[in-house]
Amino acid sequence: MRRSSKASSQKLSAESQRLATYAQAVGQAASRIEERAWEHSLDAQLQKLLKTGHQDTIDTTLNALFKEDLNAYDVLMDSVEAVSESSHLGIETADGVSRQFDVLLVAAPILAWTRFAIASGAIPADILQTLTAHFAAHLLADGTQLAMSPTLFSIDQLPRSHVETYGKVQKLAQAALKGTVLKADTKVPETAPFLADTRYLLVAVVAPAGAPLFRWQMPAFQANFAAERAAALEAWRAQATPTVNRLLPGCGVELLLPEAYYMACREADKLIRPVSIRAAVHYLTHTLGVEASDLRAVIAGFGEESADGQVDEYRVAFTQRSSTEVIYGVVWPLYGQEDEDGTPPEGPGALTAPQKPLTPVDDIIAHLNAAGITQIKKHNDRYVVEFCDDCGAPLFADPQGELAHAEMPEDAPAGSEHFH
C-alpha cells in the first residue's frame, strides 16, 4: 500500500497546495456535478498559473502528487494538458456584442524516413496556404476558423513546457480570429539527423463556443463518426501528401490523424518506433551491401538506476552475423501503461479477449522479422541507462552483454550515424 509523504506536502507553496487539493477533490468527487465543479476550480487555477508563466509551481505539485497520490497526479496531469492545449476566448465585436469561442491546439504528425536528412523549419507561403486549405476542407467542421503555424517542427522544436504550449495556443488563436499569418519561428533548436523521425504541423482550431471542431462531430456525421473520421484521414492523406513531399524531399512519409496536441504527439511517438526499425535495416543493407539475413539484432531492456527494476526503454543493437561489433542501434521507449509484460487489449471485446497482451519485445521481434532479421538475441538482464561521455549517444548491449558504442565499419560509405 502506497504511503503518503507528509514531509513533501509541508514544503508545497500555497499555490501548489491549492492545486493538489483541487486535484484530490476531483478524484474523490461522488457525483458528476461535484466533479465538474472541482474541475472548474482546478482549471481556473491552472489558467492563472499558465498565463503568468508559473511552470515551476505546476511541476512541483506534479512531483509531490506522483510520490503521494497517483490518482490525483493523473487528474492534475490531464487537467494541465487540457488547459494548456485548449482555451475559451471572449471577443467583443465592433457593435459591442461579446462572442465566446472554443480553441484547440491540434498537431498533425508526419512520420518520415530517409537515408539522407529530414527537413524542418520555415514552411514556404504557397505550401502553407495549400496545407491550410486541405486541413480545413477535409478535417474541420463547418463554421470553424484556423491558423497553421508556418513552421514544420521536429520533436526537439515543439513547446517544451505547458506554459509554452499555452502561449502557442493564444498566439495562433488570435491569428485565426484575425485572419493573419504568423511569422515562422526563427529561434528553434537544431534537431539531430535520424533515419526515421516525426515532423509536426501545429494548428489552432477556433469554433463558436459549444460548436463542433472536427468534421465527424457535425450532426450529419455523428451516427457514423468513426467511419467519417477514417474517411477524413484518408482524404487528408490523399490531398496533403504530395504537398508534404515537397517539404520533405527524399523522404518516405506517412500522415497520421491530426488530433489534440498531446494525444497526437503520444501516438506519433509510438508509431515512429517500428518505422525506425525498418529504416535502420534498409540503411544497413544498402550501405553495407548485405542482405537482412546477414544481420543480427540484440535486444536489451534499460531503466533508471533507482527505478526498482523497471524497464523504461529497449535498445536494439545491430551487428553483422559474422561479428559482435555493434554497428547501429535503435531506441524503443515505453510510454504510458506500457511495460515489459505488455499493454492489455483495448476496444470492443477487450474484456473477453483470450489472447495475452503483446509484449514490447514480441512487438520488436515481429518488426525485425518483417524487415528480414532472423537472428535475434534477447538479454534478460536489465541495464542502467547509459550514454557515451564524449558524444551523448546511447550505449547498446552487444551479443556478449557488454555495453558498446554503435559505430559503422571504417570502410562503410559516409552517411548518417545517428540513432533514433
Q: Judge whether residue 418 has pLDDT over 90.
A: no
Q: Where are the alpha helices (DSSP H) in 32-150?
A: 32-51, 55-68, 70-85, 125-139
Q: What is the pLDDT of residue 190?
A: 78
DSSP string, 202-258: EEEEEEETTS--BGGGSGGGGGGHHHHHHHHHHHHHHHHHHHHHHHSTT-EEEEPPP
Q: What is the pLDDT of residue 199?
A: 96
* Average per-residue pLDDT for the chain: 89
Domain residue extents for the chain: 6-85, 93-266, 290-404
In tens, the pLDDT along 242-267 reads 999 999 999 999 999 999 999 999 99
In tens, the pLDDT along 147-183 reads 999 999 999 999 999 999 999 999 999 999 998 888 8
Q: What is the pLDDT of residue 292?
A: 94
How far lies 324's CA from each of 67, 401, 406, 407, in Å?
42, 10, 11, 12
* 173 φ/ψ angles, rounded to the nearest 5 degrees: -65, -40
- How far apart are alpha carbons 311 and 339 in whole angstroms? 7
Q: What is the pLDDT of residue 11?
A: 76
In tens, the pLDDT along 76-99 reads 999 999 999 999 988 876 677 888
What contacts 24+ positions apart, CB below 8 Å, involve 337-341? 339/310, 339/311, 340/301, 340/311
Q: Judge whether residue 355 has pLDDT over 70.
A: no
How far lies 6's CA from each of 25, 74, 89, 115, 123, in Å?
18, 20, 39, 53, 51
Q: What is the pLDDT of residue 7?
A: 38
0.85 exceeded by pTM: yes
Q: Judge whether residue 184 has pLDDT over 50.
A: yes
Q: Judge whether residue 66 has pLDDT over 80.
A: yes
Can you say whether residue 382 is alpha, beta or left, with left for phi > 0 and alpha for psi between -120 and 50 degrees?
beta
DSSP element (H, E) containing 8 = helix 6-10
Q: Give the pLDDT band of residue 347 (cuts 50, 70, 90).
A: very low
Q: Judge whether residue 414 has pLDDT over 70.
A: no
